[in-house]
A and B are shown apart, each in its own frame.
Chain A
Amino acid sequence: MQYLPNILFLVLLVLGIGYFTRNVKKLIRNIKLGHKIDVSDNKSERFKNMALIAFGQSKMVRRPVAGILHFIVYVGFIVINIEVLEIIIDGIFGTHRIFSPIGSVYNILIGTFEILALLVFVSVVIFWIRRNIIKLQRFWKTEMTSWPKNDANFILYFEMVLMTLFLIMNATDVHFQAMNSGNVVSQYIAPWFSELSENTLHIIERTAWWLHIAGILVFLNYLYFSKHLHILLAFPNTYFGKLRPKGELNNLEAVTKEVKMMMDPNVDPFAEPAEDSDEEIPAKFGASDVTDLNRIQLLNAYTCTECGRCTSECPANQTGKKLSPRKIMMDTRDRLEEVGKNIDANSGEFKDDGKQLLGHYITNEEIWACTTCNACTEACPVSIDPLSIILEMRRYLVMEQSAAPMELNNMMTNIENNGAPWPYNQMDRLNWKNE
């Protein structure tokens, strides 16, 4: 019987981590539904980007208020998690504060945790006020429907509760308070409980301890369903982020092959393709659904924190157009999840559901409003590239559906016939010289 708590703890831990692993596997499976893309180049530059942008939060601080608050929560999150290590060991072996014998270092550590916990609590409260009382515009755009709004608030409540539990746990730990070192914050909370008997205190301390670790496990499993997934994915996402100049849009290789063939007088266009040529003709140009996108674009979708920095900088969105780069990312993720669930429900095989990302989630009107200005990619704190998805959809609309707006078709016909987007004769190209 005396091992009951240990066993209970182990079960909780295994369940928590097990379910999380299951979802991570699903996540990877879903991302792999996208096309392969070679990102094995420039490892050192990629590591540097990850270190600066994800680890160092370099782009977060471009908006100083949110940036600094976020930095506190981020550091708090990482550092306080050292404490979780102790909790896990204590839980499994039935010990109490196993690291405490290391003495003064331990107290410095716990002291740091306590200060951070308080700072995190305060930051999270300010975050909540910015979202719900001040109602910063970017958190109230149309794509921020009830779930994204609730999700953001749940995360904040979770963090408030976890920090509170941590501080209460310390405040009601009689031995710890008696040592009176390291309890920098909790010593001020302890008096609130001074009326209570040692036994009651012990019960409160144990309850806080259990709720704290259970809360952490629940939170861990909440990630997969939430924009909070960015705390993990920001790292790979910034590693795989675009390295080339922002203005460079990729050249489609499949098109290059065809164009070279058309331009090469030595190629017989009617020749049968060589029997064993493994040259696969791509099923389609551009993208109309998530499975036409590449893996980085799908990883982008899961990484998006829905912060809306992209949308608030987008010229189309600022002038009232429907386009919102954040919505492009949220739609991509929602559709990818839908496809994933479809696969799960149909024993591993996707069953056509008559839906697509383009059309059912994203409209042509949104796609055509983009000026390809790169304000969104510049603003994103985690190196997401909404523009690349927009471009793939335009490619699909133009090359597969011939569904460009009429004026653009005129422009393209002009280029084809006159070598300029306007109906002028190429032979007149140098006339300006004598005008």
Chain B
Amino acid sequence: MSELLKVPTMAEFMEQGKQPEVLFWVGCAGSFDDRAKKITKAFVKLLNKAGVEFAVLGTEESCTGDPAKRAGNEFLFQMQAVTNIEILNAYEVKKIVTACPHCFNTIKNEYPSLGGNYEVMHHTQFLKTLLNEGRLTVEGGKFKGKRITFHDPCYLGRANDVYEAPRDLIQKLEAELVEMKNCKRNGLCCGAGGAQMFKEAEKGDKEVNVERTEQALEVKPEIVAAGCPFCNTMITDGVKSKEKESEVAIMDIAELIANAQDL
């Protein structure tokens, strides 16, 4: 990819004595994971297109501490949290958007009592606002009539009761939204949460991501839409294990919207 993305940092804004409209919290997966980086870029393209004045922390960003906390290492979590909060507060950040439900949950719910109070949005919520405000338009384009099913990330859905924003966006694509038998508050985990992403699963008779992928494949989608870089990886692996990768694509909502308009 060669076209230039505009990705200003908080430090640059500060130099000019300006405040961005929103801070884009990229997250570790979004920064380093090859698949997730594509989601990050798709989202940035949309922000650029809509003319959103956003900034990233860049090299000043660090893990929110979510996997450490959920692995039981409260010390490490709070060290990370306090460090991040210091930086965010120094930049007087008010509003944060992130494409990772884990970062979203942690910053929104677990940072306030440590001194970090921000308005935090998941990127699907943010994109929906942009659409509602007319700053971004979506045409079905490529995805018109396609069968798309949405996998609810635990940390967006059950954890924070956000079920509609991603679905509204899919519907805006004029796609055919099909629901799996376990969806919304009954959605089945992809298997990555609670630091499971970073370890082998305990002994069992199946991998969680395979179980979830089977549920997704049951509704015969052309695309499985995700809203979390970790779910994305897990379902992608699941689809590969079922040798269906040529028939079923796994895409983040941001990618769907960006691709629909050939960004």
Interface residues of A (CB under 8 A from B): 244-249, 251-252, 255-256, 258-260, 262-263, 285-286, 313, 315-316, 318-323, 365, 368-375, 378, 391, 393-399, 404-405, 407-408, 410-412, 415-416, 419-422, 424, 426-433, 435
Contact = CB atoms under 8 A, between A and B. Distances in A.
Given A313-B186, A373-B158, A415-B65, A408 B198 contact: yes
B101 to A, nearest CB: 8
Contacts of B202: 316, 321-323, 365, 368-369
Contacts, number: 216
A69 to B, nearest CB: 21
Contacts of A259: 75, 78-79, 82
Given A244-B109, A426-B59, A256 B78 contact: yes
A375 B41 CA distance: 32
A427 B59 CA distance: 5
B196 to A, nearest CB: 5
Given A247-B109, A396-B72, A421-B28, 14 more contacts: A245-B108, A251-B113, A263-B79, A315-B212, A316-B208, A365-B202, A371-B191, A373-B158, A399-B74, A405-B199, A411-B195, A419-B61, A419-B63, A429-B26
Interface in B67-121: 67-76, 78-80, 82-83, 86, 105, 108-110, 113-114
Contacts of B68: 411-412, 415
A56 B146 CA distance: 41
Contact of B73 (A372, A399, A432): A399
Given A245-B109, A249-B110, A416-B76, A391 B70 contact: yes
B260 to A, nearest CB: 22
Contacts of B73: 395, 398-399, 404, 412
Given A373-B158, A399-B72, A260 B63 contact: no
A302 B151 CA distance: 35
Interface of B: 1, 5, 7, 9, 26, 28, 30-33, 37, 40-41, 56, 58-59, 61-63, 65, 67-76, 78-80, 82-83, 86, 105, 108-110, 113-114, 154-155, 158-161, 185-186, 188-189, 191-208, 210-212
7 contacts: A246-B158, A247-B159, A318-B206, A319-B206, A371-B189, A407-B198, A432-B41
